[in-house]
Structure 1
């Protein structure tokens, strides 16, 4: 079992380091639980390349993304220190296999959410949030054909996660009703998608509670200072070199990046 897990993690890590499309694994994970075991082993292998794990991204929290990915529940992937950028970042499209972006509400925690506190509710995790930020999640279609990979393998590879770009943080006391926050995604000045905070499992705190409970079931917690991308308000937008990206989230601000 350990050999299966490590072999899968090594194959994914090699593809990630080489910016090479990942073919179906020789021994793919049998189910999502095994996919998460490979993901944990992968995170250890990525440390020298991507830096420490600084948080998580939650995938498939909105109906538009569940329909697109053909998934009926959320999934989680890691976010690493070296791929968290400030608004205005200029990033090389060649650093990705096929780069895409999503419009998200990010949260930063002010205290730990320990596994012993589970089960978590939206209200409970909301109290643990320090600040919010408008975010561009960067995703990478680093697969020969993602539609045939299967959810367990996508989970093993952090479910497309490739980092994020963050706008200015807004203290929790200053944010509007997150359910009503409207987000717009603009590519080269043209609106390419829109949604609201209510599209994220009814409220972004519901997504955060799902993550805290998911981690608690594995005996793991969330920690003060960690970043969580709560899920996309819009369908993934695939980019080409030269594209300028701007996400506008009412009451939270704006975040921008250029992919050169």
Structure 2
């Protein structure tokens, strides 16, 4: 780390205020060009702990930047992760308040719910599949509180990996019921198709990110717990949305997700 604990606290406080006011702050790397990934996870951790202390309940983790589409869209070439709280999970058909988010975009993903804990350091795809209870389609709402232009992975991680909310579908599949690599996503805004992709775009198999996260957590002395929701990463580019937009994603045999921004 290159930043002091006081600087970590200060930046976490700025991000907390930006989250409350739906604002955007100056890039961390513009102010602290030597900030490291370790600094960014320290900032995220302080923010996370403050949210838990305020009464929010952690229900899972999001993994980001796991596909070529997302890496090319952001210019960032390694995965990251953030946390998800219970008040950010919506059912298909929900209306979401547009003004609750900043730099609002949508990504097409699969989410996994764990039936058993998962721990590194040598977790494989097979280990992850064995620990997964079921897969469910999900749309992630990106919520960026840091200036987008010129941002690096340090900025993104500090900002809870740009996670805002998740809209879950109704269809659940066990990992032995379907070839998850070939789950499609056809994303539409106001009836017009904007993005398409298949889940194999996420590291070759969408559950590979779950194994990566378990191994990453092990380095911090932690593990993924039973019951957690793991949002595995987008297999399309992010789609910008505006107030009033109706969003629909067709996952074929895994159903359809719809939501509206009001």
TM-score by length of 1: 0.93
Asked if structure 2 preserves the Cα contact closer than 8 Å seen for 1:175 and 1:252, the reply is no
Find the counterpart in structure 2 of residue 38 from structure 1.
43
Q: Does 1:12 find its partner at 2:28?
A: no
- In 1, Cα distance between the equivalents of 2:75 and 2:27? 18
Find the counterpart in structure 2 of residue 139 from structure 1.
142
Moved more, 40-49 or 244-253: 40-49
Q: Considering fraction of residues, name the structure with more strand.
A: 1
Find the counterpart in structure 2 of residue 100 from structure 1.
105
Q: Which runs of 5+ in 1 are unaligned?
A: none
> Aligned with 2:253: secondary structure?
coil
TM-score by length of 2: 0.92
Find the counterpart in structure 2 of residue 153 from structure 1.
155
- In 1, Cα distance between the equivalents of 2:47 and 2:34? 13
Find the counterpart in structure 2 of residue 61 from structure 1.
66
2:227 to 222, 225, 228: 225
Find the counterpart in structure 2 of residue 236 from structure 1.
238
Deviation at 1:148, TM superposition (A): 2.3
Deviation at 1:39, TM superposition (A): 0.7
Mark the CA change 1:11 to 1:124 in structure 2 (over 3 Å): closer, same or farther.
same
Aligned length, in residue pairs: 257
Moved more, 167-176 or 224-233: 167-176
Moved more, 134-143 or 166-175: 166-175
Q: Which runs of 5+ in 2 are unaligned?
A: none
1:83 to 85, 88, 96: 88
Asked if structure 2 preserves the Cα contact closer than 8 Å seen for 1:244 and 1:259, the reply is yes
- In 2, Cα distance between the equivalents of 1:29 and 1:4? 13
Asked if structure 1 preserves the Cα contact closer than 8 Å seen for 2:144 and 2:159, the reply is no
Cα deviation 1:212-232 (Å, max 9, x = unaligned): 111111111101110011111
- In 2, Cα distance between the equivalents of 1:82 and 1:253? 23
- In 1, Cα distance between the equivalents of 2:170 and 2:212? 25
Asked if structure 1 preserves the Cα contact closer than 8 Å seen for 2:116 and 2:131, the reply is yes
- In 1, Cα distance between the equivalents of 2:61 and 2:34? 21
Q: Give the root-mean-square deviation of aligned CA atoms.
A: 1.7
